[in-house]
Amino acid sequence: MTGIRHDYASINGIRLHYAHAGTGPLILFLHGFPEFWYCWKQQLEDLGRDHHAVAPDLRGFNLSDRPADVKQYKVRILIEDVRQLAEHLGHEKFVLVAHDWGGAVAWAYAMAHPQTLSRLVIVNSPHPVTFARELAHNPAQQDASQYMNLLRSDKAERVLSENNYERLAKMTLEGWGAGTVDPAERAVYVEAWSQPGALTGSLNYYRASPLYPPTGDDPGAKAVKLNPADFMVRVPTLVVWGMRDQALLPSNLDGLDACVPDLRIERLPQTSHWVTHEEPERLNLLIREFIGA
């Protein structure tokens, strides 16, 4: 990983680890569950040629601080992490690229601080309005999201960490590359998952969110009423979507333009949820084209 450096920022009451490369305009990458900065390594190397490309470990993950309190993972706190990190890095305006849970944070950040973003790039992460709709009313998305109820449960840490994180690896690492996992790559992820408190920290994103599939005794997303007018994204936005995503269905794209007026959608028909692993070069080209780099 040529040219990638590592640093820490003391921001928003925590110590945040980040990897970064290059100098120039800031482009910030936010990972999802259960990953960490490392999933963006190819983007750091490529975009770091002419940008300051930065990928933090989000709070709760890997080498960043890992608060145990679920309340520390509320969206308003996660948004402030991003704002203060950009400020720490000395940039008033930047490009934000995000995947999965990082995308959930990025959507919310773009709504709260549009003046700080020049471009927003979202990779397989639904806007809260469309996701709430799909979880509440689409049986296919409800079925696809049943794993969320496991991840919210008290037994999640035990189930996911058994047999050296076997189930977590099956949910993630074995979902890309036709099930072939490089043992060295697996070891890197297991090391990140094994950081004290990291598994609980990453699961707390699910536990803190009101968006999850309904069950017989819990209405879940059906109890959430969102007014689209309150969730407008007024930043030029590119959404890249692997159409073979089995967890976040392409139906989450339907009606997205009502909340994102300046929107481009790039559908990748042969790609799953794990775009950064399956088509990193294509993603780099799409980002560069969109931001004019």
Strand order in the sheet with 52-56: 5-11, 14-21, 52-56, 26-30, 94-99, 117-123, 237-242, 263-268
Long-range contacts of 12-15 (CB under 8 A, 24+ apart): 12/77, 12/80, 12/81, 12/84, 14/59, 14/64, 14/65, 14/67, 14/81, 15/64, 15/65
Q: Which of 51, 52, 273, 277 is catalytic?
A: 273
Burial status of residue 23 (CB atoms within 10 A of its CB: 0-12, 13-18, 19 or more): exposed
3-state class of 153 per DSSP?
A: coil
Query: Catalytic site residue 277?
Result: no
Query: Catalytic site residue 31?
Result: no
Q: Which of 65, 81, 100, 245 is catalytic?
A: 100
Task: Work out the widest C-alpha separation in the chain, in whole angstroms.
Answer: 52
CA atoms within 13 A on the CB side of 284: 18
Q: Which parts of 86-232 are beta strand (E)? A: 94-99, 117-123
Q: Which of 205, 206, 212, 277 is catalytic?
A: 206
Query: Catalytic site residue 100?
Result: yes
Structure tokens at 181: 């996992």
Contact (Cβ atoms closer than 8 angstroms) between residue 127 and residue 260 = yes
* Of the candidates 56, 115, 135, the residue with the CA atom closest to the CA atom of residue 88: 56
Q: Return the DSSP state at 175.
A: G
**φ, ψ for residue 123, nearest 5 deg:** -120, 115
- Count Cβ atoms below 10 Å from residue 92 Cβ, excluding itself: 9
**φ, ψ for residue 143, nearest 5 deg:** -65, -45
Give the active site residues.
100, 206, 273
